[in-house]
Structure 1
Amino acid sequence: MDALKAAQHYINRIVTDTSGMKVLLLDRETTPIISLVSTQSHLLSKEVYLVDRIDNVQRDSMRHLKCLCFLRPTDSSIQALVDELRSPKYGDYYIYFSNILKKSMIELLAENDESEVVQELQEFYADFYAPTPCLFHIGLTPSTHPLFAEGHSWNPGALNRTVQGLSALLLSLKKRPNIRYERNSGMALKLGRELEYLVNHESNLFGTNSDDKTHLYILDRKNDPVTPLLTHWTYHAMLHELIGVNNGRIDLSYLPDIRPEVKEVMLSQDQDSFFKQSQFLNFGDLGVSVKEFVDSYQSKTASQHKIESISDMKRFVEAYPEFRKLSGNVTKHVTLIGELSRIVGSHHLLAVSELEQSLACNEQHNTDLKALRTLIADPSIQPENKVRCVVLYALRYERAQSNALHELKQQLSSSGVDADLVSTVDVVLRYSGLRERQSDIFQNENIFSRGRNMFKGLQGTENVYTQHTPALAVMLEQLLRGRQGLHWQERLPNLDPQARPPTIGNESGIFNQDIIVFVVGGVTLDEEKAVANLNARFGSQNVRIIAFTISRI
């Protein structure tokens, strides 16, 4: 179960099913979908000599070329295609949509194909973005597609796009799963019902019977608000949070004296072996890894300088493309890690992270409060980091008799933190405070969980900056090991009451299961790492897990 390979399969079908010289037309949303799973050189090798946007009206007419169109079935893309068919610029058109087409859309296209240039019309379900093998998203951003409407309810546009993305994922994997949702989440239930309605309505595509070995778990971020509040120290997570990754692209043009070739760089597991091997390394191990990478490059550079014969020249010429690629990767990663190191130092993130981990993992109110007051008073700490630590304090000590949240918010305001930023403390409490959650994420709600938390603290930890384990990782491991089966059946009811519950009561664990996890509110890259680790550990049991989220990565 690999949606990255499924998306690559669809793209390969698009560019290889039609022979001859071709042009590929994309829209605003399918352009990044393609860029994440294919390269310009790969497209060129399949005789795709031009890639353009269908809404570019300045394109030249080239009737000797065949035209491949890969589009999302949106009103804007349909209208752009209608305009194209009314005045075709190419000889033949082969049209592929990334999701289910409405009958009215097909009729509209047929009515406007007066020149009869359309040779093929198909649905290829690659309507999601696949940055890594175990994490996928649908590209929504809060500025354009807010998640919430009034209260804790779906924004209709975000809900519709989420259903479309999930349905495309299921169709690409050829799965009709049992749908389970977190009991205390109205948004998870709403999404599950909308998806179930679509699956039943399109039973000719999905089949009529659910697959007992495939499960879709729809979770709600409010049940674990802690994980996204923490500073994460893996390479991929740091790049995303500290510099910014947009559909695999990183913009470094803001750096002074940046070399032109690294003003914008790409992250791709397929094209970048160092990133594939290092994306889950923590910051300390990353320094060792990049040094070994540079040493390897230097040794290969030295060997290339030893050209003493015709055979040496031939070897150099044959290795030159790979040598240039290696040189570019070395420059890219040394630049990225250097910038990360600068940000970590200038923002004092080690000190911030140590307090975050203490608030997330340990029950020591007086110590935490003293450290938090010191942090807020420090003018070198970023306002966002101060507020994150106060939010963690508010969540952990929400019921503590000595709770000093009001005082901390006043200290934030007096230290110059913007009032809107300070107000997020109360917003998070309303969204995912104790009354909203159904899980004891801090293990401090009763005497038994406090005891478990104390014993966990006595065991120590390898790294004070990575003590916290995401609740998603705990849940999945318990499911995979067959532990607390009744608890999870109660917490994650099935939409279909007649469906057979998953095999989670057997202490030997579960086998031959495909698990898709969707989190309303998004997943973190620390949770991506947890999913990747679980896939590696339980692969021998033929268990495969992928996580699906909303926000672009």
Structure 2
Amino acid sequence: MNVITAIKLYIEKMTNESGPGLKIILMDKETTSIISMAFSQSDMLQREVYLFERIDSARSNERLKHLKCIVFIRPTKMNVSLLADELRSPKYGAYYIYFSNIIPRTDIKLLAESDESESVREVKEVYADFLCVNPNLFSFNIPYCMQSLKWIPEALMRSAQGLTSILLSLKIHPVIRYRAGSVVAETLAKQVYDVISKESSLFDFRSHDNGVPPPLLLILDRRDDPITPLLHQWTYQAMVHELLTINNNRVDLSKVSGISKDLKEVVLSGDQDEFYSGNLYSNFGEIGSRIKSMMDEYQKKAKDQRKVESISDMKNFVETYPQFKKMSGTVSKHVRVIGELSDQTAQRNLLNISELEQDIACRADHSAQLQRVKKLVADEKTAVKDALKLVAIYALRYERHANCDIMGLLQTIEKRGGKASFVPKLIEYAGQHARQGELFSTVRITDAVKFTRNLIKGLKEIENVFTQHTCLLKETLEEVFKGRDLDPMYQVVGSYVPFRRPHQEVVVFMIGGATYEEALAVHQLNVSGYRVILGGTTIHNSDSFINEVAHATIGVQPKHTKSLQQFYSPD
């Protein structure tokens, strides 16, 4: 179960089936991102693809009959119409057409009628309709999936199509479960089930005999865990996304002072960057020492490169120069990224803020925590957006506490020019009334057995105060793999025969966006021998999650935050 490998196999199939010779690839906006996440431009050049064009952009009318055209597009009505126009007046000598998902027969008929010159050589479905972020992580790049706390129809359709594609690419015919009580999760689960039932011949994969249960598709709702996207992250990939933002494996550094021209946008791809791949889940402290080791190695090789004294030395130089140049670029890129992360951490006092975030998320101590929150929120050295997130975490934990002071904290946020309306919207979106189950663990001193167990564990293994939070997803998956009864918390769509053994393979989809902290949890489970893949409508950092909440609550009247109504400004 590797989503990068799945995409790569499809793309290699497309380039191989068209045979040898010069090729162009014709894509739409989304398939352009799908390919760029899996292959670099130089990788595509090695496969004889020399031109890249968009079917939905203005293009030259020059006829290039000597070129073969690989068409890789999503099966939307707009794309089919544009492709039909292309085939009526073909620009290239031959067309090999690949749709990224299931296409209706009526659309195939339209394309056949448009191909009067008979230039089409292949028409196939390849199930590559998702962005492969990490081997165990995918996204549909949908920034907002809800409005008025209901599915946006286009987002629902895209999610159903994308999940169908994931299942087909991995050859999975799953049991489908969704979070009970979540209308959006139930709606999506039933749509995917309907597609599987309708296209049953496509899902005729291996049977599960000998008591081995089929894979599980688990559809969850972000509203059950609004805490994880708000916490500051301290592993490399998650930290880069939180502080700099990763967009389709690219990071924009153009606003960093003194940045060189070639580093204004950098590519961070685990498949194309060995250092990044090996350190996705390393914490901030580990990254610093590993960067130093890489720099030391680079300086040693740079010194060796200068010693060109013989023909043999020249030959070695020519052979090793490409690797040396690549290493130079890798060192420059990661040193600059790490430097910016370090600067922001210091300037924004993120160590102190993160410690308090983790403390609130993991431990109930209202009085002491409230005083610390007040102090940091009022401190001008604390960035307003960091103060806002701190208040949001406090509000989610203590919204029903007798001495809760959300009102006073929001007044401070408002005086500082922050978007105080976010907090009441967040409570409407994912407050205690909206969540299923218990999000926050509470350590009670009166529970002597539990306290003693935690104390012993603390003596044996001192946890990092910045990473002590465990996302709800990890706890959920541990329940799945222990074989615990998932009913009634997670409802099944369609008929289901219970198995004695727990599921061996799980695909998790998070409506409302997944996070890199959850990807880390999945990675840790996979390292332990389990088989899990995580996906989401998007991959959130705290800023994108705040925007998601604002969009999802458009048109929602404050029912659960009437005392905070003065802050609940309409969008």
Q: TM-score, normalised by structure 1?
A: 0.92
- Once the two structures are superposed, the pairs formed by residues 215-226 of structure 1 within 5 Å of their partners are 215-226=216-227
CA spacing shift, 1:414–1:502, aligned 2, 3 Å: farther
Q: Distance in 2 between matches of 1:43 and 1:198?
A: 33
- Once the two structures are superposed, the pairs formed by residues 240-279 of structure 1 within 5 Å of their partners are 240-279=241-280
Partners of 2:65 and 2:91 within 8 A in 1: yes
Aligned AA (2:187): K
CA spacing shift, 1:448–1:345, aligned 2, 3 Å: same
Q: Distance in 2 between matches of 1:234 and 1:244?
A: 14
Q: Distance in 1 between matches of 2:153 and 2:445?
A: 42
Offset of 1:455 from its aligned partner? 5.7
Q: Distance in 2 between matches of 1:208 and 1:315?
A: 51
Secondary structure of the corresponding residue to residue 472 of structure 1: helix
Q: Is there any run of 5+ residues in structure 2 with no aligned partner, and where?
A: 541-571
Bigger drift between 440-449 and 199-208 goes to 440-449
Aligned AA (1:17): E
Q: Distance in 2 between matches of 1:148 and 1:34?
A: 27
Aligned AA (2:426): V
CA spacing shift, 1:299–1:256, aligned 2, 3 Å: same
- Tell me the matched-pair count: 531
Offset of 1:270 from its aligned partner? 1.9
Query: Which of these residues, 189, 194, 201, is aligned with residue 192 of structure 1?
Result: 189
Aligned AA (2:63): S
Offset of 1:413 from its aligned partner? 1.8
1:477 corresponds to: 478
Q: Distance in 2 between matches of 1:382 and 1:502?
A: 52
- 1:361-419 per-residue CA deviation (whole Å, 9 max, x = no partner) reads 111111101001101111121222111111111121122211112222222223332xx
- 1:119-148 per-residue CA deviation (whole Å, 9 max, x = no partner) reads 110001100000210000011123xxxx11
Q: Distance in 2 between matches of 1:369 and 1:350?
A: 18
Aligned AA (1:165): G
Aligned AA (1:127): D
1:389 corresponds to: 390
Secondary structure of the corresponding residue to residue 92 of structure 1: strand
Secondary structure of the corresponding residue to residue 270 of structure 1: coil
Partners of 1:247 and 1:552 within 8 A in 2: no
2:491 corresponds to: 493
Say if 2:152 is the partner of 1:155.
Answer: yes
Q: Distance in 1 between matches of 2:393 and 2:201?
A: 48
Partners of 1:443 and 1:453 within 8 A in 2: no
Secondary structure of the corresponding residue to residue 65 of structure 2: coil
Q: Distance in 1 between matches of 2:26 and 2:446?
A: 60
1:439 corresponds to: 437
Q: Distance in 2 between matches of 1:10 and 1:470?
A: 33
Q: Distance in 2 between matches of 1:446 and 1:221?
A: 28
1:304 corresponds to: 305
Bigger drift between 43-52 and 332-341 goes to 43-52
Query: Which of these residues, 119, 141, 149, is aligned with residue 117 of structure 1?
Result: 119
Partners of 1:36 and 1:130 within 8 A in 2: yes
Secondary structure of the corresponding residue to residue 51 of structure 1: strand
Bigger drift between 493-502 and 255-264 goes to 493-502
Considering only aligned residues, what root-mean-square deviation do their CA atoms show, in Å? 2.1
1:62 corresponds to: 64
Q: Distance in 1 between matches of 2:412 and 2:30?
A: 44
Partners of 1:177 and 1:210 within 8 A in 2: no
Query: Which of these residues, 496, 510, 533, is aligned with residue 546 of structure 1?
Result: 533
Offset of 1:496 from its aligned partner? 2.5
Q: Distance in 1 between matches of 2:453 and 2:299?
A: 48
Secondary structure of the corresponding residue to residue 321 of structure 1: helix
Offset of 1:448 from its aligned partner? 8.7
2:235 corresponds to: 234
- 1:197-246 per-residue CA deviation (whole Å, 9 max, x = no partner) reads 11101112112998633001111111111111100111101111111111
- Once the two structures are superposed, the pairs formed by residues 56-455 of structure 1 within 5 Å of their partners are 56-58=58-60, 60-142=62-144, 147-150=145-148, 152-207=149-204, 212-417=213-418, 421-444=419-442, 452=450
Secondary structure of the corresponding residue to residue 351 of structure 2: helix
Q: Distance in 1 between matches of 2:196 and 2:519?
A: 27
1:6 corresponds to: 6
Secondary structure of the corresponding residue to residue 29 of structure 1: helix
Aligned AA (2:81): Q
Q: Distance in 2 between matches of 1:272 and 1:450?
A: 49
CA spacing shift, 1:367–1:293, aligned 2, 3 Å: same
